[in-house]
């Protein structure tokens, strides 16, 4: 659907309410609607939300992007919000990654391509998250009095996390390994609060204010950081 110069992807589902979202990096707009809502009602709703949509798009326009990575020496890489310079060591041995105060050392076999180096580093990021996430989930299960039945890590193009409420399953973006630990915890809490309240409404935000009073600060910090490959 087009509203002036604005193009909106409209999807009709078996849901009760209209949901509107603006996604990075280019501010694409998607609206999910109950099947029984006609196009004119959707059009009027979008017209009423133009100001909000444009505001979100301007935020994405201002947000920095991480440069393309070639996985060469002294290239900048991040782990838990800290910047490291890449150091390559070629060795006929299994891949290995180690961290020092300022260097992320990537040990690889000779003639390892940039694509292979990326896969090795992403596997390492995944391994680190698999160690960091369970204690945070356990902590917030006790605080929120909810139960997460399953969780996982994925490359996501438009979201930091998702929650399948009926299955009590959350998914987290691999890119969170690069962000400060408080940002990772904020996304975990956000998704787990959906087990208490499905919608982003006053009840949901009341829970966030109650259990994680600084959540807005963490969200702002996360949104101010460069956007990586996971959100492209």
- Residue 232: band (very low, low, confident or very high) from pLDDT cuts 50, 70, 90: very low
- Which contacts of 23-27 are long-range, i.e. CB under 8 A and separated by 24 or more positions? 23/157, 23/158, 24/60, 24/63, 24/158, 24/227, 24/231, 25/60, 25/63, 25/65, 25/227, 25/231, 25/232, 26/60, 27/53, 27/56, 27/57, 27/60, 27/61
**Three-state DSSP state, 15:** coil
Q: Return the pLDDT at 25.
A: 63
CA-nearest of 221, 181, 179 to 66 is 179
Could you tell me if 55 and 83 lie in one domain? no
Number of domains in the chain: 2
Could you tell me if 14 and 40 lie in one domain? yes
Q: What is the pLDDT averaged over residues 28-38?
A: 91
**Would residue 70 count as lying in a domain?**
no
Residue 37's domain comprises 2-62
The enclosing domain of 224 has a CATH number of 3.30.2010.10
Q: Indicate whether 123 pLDDT > 60.
A: yes
Q: What is the pLDDT averaged over residues 13-17?
A: 86
Could you tell me if 101 and 183 lie in one domain? yes
- Residue 205: band (very low, low, confident or very high) from pLDDT cuts 50, 70, 90: very high
* Residues 47-84 pLDDT 10s: 999 999 998 888 777 655 566 778 999 999 999 999 99
Q: What is the pLDDT averaged over residues 196-216?
A: 93
CA-nearest of 222, 212, 136, 135 to 178 is 222
Q: Return the pLDDT at 156.
A: 85
Instruction: Determine the Cα–Cα distance for residues 160 and 171; give it in Å rounded to an integer.
Output: 9
- Reading the block at residue 23, the tokens are 């996604």
Could you tell me if 113 and 208 lie in one domain? yes
Could you tell me if 113 and 150 lie in one domain? yes
Enumerate the β-bridge partners of residue 216.
none
**Would residue 85 count as lying in a domain?**
yes
What is the pTM assigned to this prediction?
A: 0.73
């Amino acid at each position: 659907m087009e509203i002036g110069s604005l193009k909106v992807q409209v999807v009709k589902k078996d849901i009760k309410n209209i949901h509107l979202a603006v996604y990075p990096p280019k501010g694409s707009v998607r609206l999910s609607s109950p099947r029984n809502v006609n196009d004119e009602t959707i059009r009027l709703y979008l017209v009423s939300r133009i100001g909000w949509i444009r505001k979100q798009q301007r935020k994405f326009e201002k947000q920095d992007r991480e440069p393309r990575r070639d996985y060469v020496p002294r290239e900048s890489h991040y782990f838990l919000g800290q910047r490291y310079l890449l150091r390559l060591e070629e060795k006929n041995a299994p891949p290995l990654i180690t961290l020092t105060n300022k260097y992320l050392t990537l040990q690889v076999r000779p003639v390892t391509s940039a694509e292979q180096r990326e896969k090795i580093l992403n596997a390492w990021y995944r391994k680190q998250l698999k160690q960091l996430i369970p204690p945070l989930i356990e902590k917030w299960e006790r605080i929120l009095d909810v139960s997460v039945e399953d969780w996982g890590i994925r490359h996501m193009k438009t979201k930091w996390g998702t929650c399948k409420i009926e299955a009590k399953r959350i998914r987290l973006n691999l890119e969170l390994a690069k962000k400060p630990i408080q940002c990772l915890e904020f996304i975990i809490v956000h998704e787990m609060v959906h087990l208490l309240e499905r919608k982003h409404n006053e009840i949901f935000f009341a829970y966030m204010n109650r259990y994680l009073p600084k959540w807005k600060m963490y969200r702002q910090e996360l949104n101010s950081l460069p956007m990586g490959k996971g959100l492209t």
